[in-house]
Chain A
Amino acid sequence: MQRALALPAALVALAEIGARAHGPSDSIAPPSAVVSALLEALADGSLAGATRDTLVSAFGGLAIGAGLGLALGVMLGSLRPLDRLLEPTIELMRPIPSVAVIPIALVALGFGYRLEIAIVAFACVWPLLLLTRAAVRGVEPRLIEVARALRLSPLQRTAKIVAPAALPRIFVALRLAAGISLVVAVTVEIAVNPQGLGYGVMTAGQALRPDMMLAYVVWIGIVGFAFNAALVLAQRRLFGKAAGVEAAR
């Protein structure tokens, strides 16, 4: 761990030396200036407000998109005819980059949370839908036969067999979607939406404050890291045993 930290430390030192040697710039700033800009933004509350805006959109979009994807994935994974019926529609919509939806969403919803949440939700539906569908289909066929032998109702089968068998894999999809949600939220903010961390990066750049711009970028990295770490922790808490069982087989 200590050795692995040597490289980033050396890079930061090099950046410090390089940026100072280069003199004042509109695009780069020495790390020391970035740190002081970060402290400044933390102190005046602008960073906290922007973080809240971005996280509200990311979480909101994630919840809606993941919920929708999960429900659709369970249905399509367990009902083959429905899957065949919807497959062309899904395969046509899935490749649309979420960024390409921005203009449509902007016309329909205007600036603000709703715009951003809608686009994040659009981006988060797909990983949940595809991976849930695969997880539901991948449930051990013998267990489905056990459900048949015991004459479980479709609801009982879903609750007692399919969901617990598929849940660990679904949670992996959720982590994937969580990463996507943050990226898309920041992207929407950089592209059009005047709020949040992405907008902070843009305004700092336009104000010719490379130190502040880089401070926002560093902060986005920290937020993303914390976001993922929290989900990993939740996954261990929730599926520690099941994950261990999966690995043992």
Chain B
Amino acid sequence: MTPAPLIAFRSVDLAFGDHLVLGKLSFEIGRGEIVCVVGPSGCGKTTALRVAAGLIAPTRGEVAFAGAPVRAPRRDVAIVFQDYSKALLPWRTAAGNVSLALEAMGTPRGRRRERIDALLKRVGLFAFADKYPSQMSGGMQQRLQIARCLAQEPAALMMDEPFGALDAMTRQSLQDEMLEIARATKATIFFVTHDLEEAIYLGDRVVGLMPHPGRIGIELSVDLPRPRDQVTTRESPEFLRLRHKLYDFIHASEKGGRP
């Protein structure tokens, strides 16, 4: 872990009316680190991501990004939404959807095509540049959203259950593609998921939240070697030990008790 964190939650409270969703949430994500956040439904993991992304303001406390408090979304923080079909523009082609981010970035018109081609190649969609999202499978649509996010050249990627709606095979290949992108871009990744194995497989660290209000229940360092492998990593004793610990934690916190 690097000494200066890129993202720091500093006793963040978030209340919707009387309902406290996050309570004194404090944790840090180092530069280049992949942190996966898990927890039972209603524990506020998606809300925590939205606060960190600047989409909602905390009621008390603050999230600091590179030392400065986050008050609004930033272009160097890209958000990958779970519902890719809603997050893409249905009237634009794959190339057009990537272009949206470049237009927002102010990339000159003449340089867009080249960037779009490179980004679509990176996510394996180059051959589908002229297809509309409705003509693509779920996995392809999510790849397209990731390409659009990469167009922002983000220092951090906020991924909100990005593979939750995909089938198991597609999910695994996207996990590996994401790890490859993280390695190549050195982007910091805040990854929310409800899939415990996915969290261990991807993360340098896994943070487990407990509900009512959302707060940290467990923090696990994942000391599994990289590059990771869908078969051998998932079979390693360390992976199984972490999985066991995490399952026990989720089971206990779903019952409402402290682990």
Chain A positions near chain B (C-beta within 8 angstroms) = 140, 142-143, 145-146, 148-152, 156, 160-161, 164-165, 241-242, 244-246, 248-249
Contact = CB atoms under 8 A, between A and B. Distances in A.
Nearest to A244: B134
State the main secondary structure of chain A at its contact with B. helix
A240 to B, nearest CB: 11
B134 A148 contact: no
Interface stretch (B80-88, B197-205, B238-246): B80-88
Interface in B75-126: 75, 78-79, 81, 83, 85-87, 89-91, 100-101, 103-104
Contacts of B152: 150
A156 B103 contact: yes
Q: For chain B, give the interface size range.
A: 20 to 34
Nearest to A167: B91
A180 to B, nearest CB: 28
Interface string B140-171: 00000000000010000000000000000000
Contact of B100 (A160, A165, A246): A160
Given A150-B75, A151-B75, A156-B103, A143 B134 contact: no
A143 B86 contact: yes
B138 interface: no
Contacts of B86: 140, 142-143
A164 B89 contact: yes
Of listed B73, B79, B83, B104, residue having the most chain A CB within 10 A: B104
A165 B134 CA distance: 15
Given A145-B55, A151-B73, A151-B104, A242 B91 contact: yes
A148 to B, nearest CB: 5
